[in-house]
Structures are given as C-alpha cells and as structure tokens.
Amino acid sequence: MRHARFFLFTVAGLALPLLDGNAGIQLVDIKSVDPTIVVELRYGGRNNLTGRPLYPFGTPALVRPEVASRLAAAQAFLRRYQYGLKIWDAYRPPSVQVKLWQAAHNNDYVANPAIGAGSLHSWGVAVDATLVDAWDRPVRMPSDFDDFTPAAMWRYTGADPAIRSHVHLLQVVMRNAGFWGLRTEWWHFTITDWPKYLPPDKAKSAAQVFGTRWEGKL
C-alpha cells in the first residue's frame, strides 16, 4: 500500500502506474487478502462494451482494505455452499471512466466522470462481482457483464429457478458482508459506508445516485 498518487505494481519486471487521479487513496490487491477469489477484469481484455483493453496487462483487482476484508467475508460464506466470487472490476482509474462514458453516454449504467463524484469504482469502494461454482466455473446469472438491458436489473424477474437462486445468493451474501447493490446492474456492489471515503462535497453530490438499500425481501 502507498499513500501517493500512484499505486505501482510490477509486471515482468516493469513498474506500471495504475492510479491517475484521486490522490491519496489507499488500495490493496484483493488476491493478497483472499487468493481464492477469482479475478477476471473485463476492462483488461476485449470482452467489454468498448471492445478493447482499457487496463494494462496484468492489472490487479485493487480496492480499499475495508472492501477487501468484506469480500473475504463474503467468500468465506460462499465456500460453505460450494460457490465463490469472481471479480469483474474493482478500482477503476478516472481516465478509464472517461473512456467508458465516451462509449456509453448512458448515465443509467455509466457514471458521467465530469459530474459530482464520478464512478465510485474510482474511489476504491465498489466492485463488480458474480458467482462461480466450486471449480471456479461461471454459473448461470441474469445477464453478462455490461449488459445495458432490463435483464441487468438487480431485481431478477425471469422464470429460471437456477438463475433466481444464484442471484439471490449473491445478493444475500453481499448484503450480509456490508454492501449495497445498484438498481440497474445486478453485478455492482458498493460498501454501505462509502460516503466516509469521499470528500464531503463529492459524497453529498453522489448520495442520491449510488446504492440500492436492501429494503424488504430480496
């Protein structure tokens, strides 16, 4: 961990900068906290809405230490039921958020980086996650990542019992570990106390936008 503008990590002997904004954020590699959590950063490859890699090869999944510990708690619970977490995205540099906004221009799914706090991914307090089975294989979920259709809504309304069971398990586990969901993306989770990690003006501007509180039955 480094208290600086750049979190440096090494790939093939080269030090690469990851942070390009929000100086002072303290981040850890999720795999260093729980190596059993599967990581497949979609913006590190072509399988995303832009169709091209947005992260350098070998980029780790970084989050604030408090987020990593909550993910580890969720993983420990899931392992009892022969499931596990897969992380599709974690810390997202503001420069990458700009590229996503340019590709999507849809504030229902992609936060405009020029308004308020931008994406909570860029503050290290949010992750995109799905489930895998005991052999780290994907399980059936409502949609793929970056699916900008009604299928991506966090309240699953389909008729498939397997999908319903999987998404319900993910939501319950993440809720119990201290995360909120997002209305338009079943895979997106933000720690419940995220405002304390942002400057007060940024937290206030984002308060009405981010986080689906777990109200009523899941």
Q: Is residue 217 part of a domain?
A: no
Domain tally, the chain: 1
Residue-by-residue pLDDT tens, the chain, 218 positions: 333 333 433 332 223 345 555 556 899 999 999 999 999 999 999 999 889 999 999 999 999 999 999 999 999 999 999 999 999 999 999 989 888 888 776 656 677 665 667 789 999 999 999 999 999 999 999 999 989 889 999 889 899 999 999 999 999 999 999 999 998 899 999 999 999 998 787 776 665 554 444 443 33
Q: What is the domain extent for residue 94?
A: 8-206
In a domain, 78, yes or no: yes
Establish if 215 belongs to a structural domain.
no
Tokens of 15: 């030090």
105 touches 112 (CB < 8 A): no
In a domain, residue 147? The reply is yes
> What's the whole-model pTM score?
0.84
In a domain, 211, yes or no: no
Residue 218 lies in a domain: no
CATH code at position 85 = 3.30.1380.10
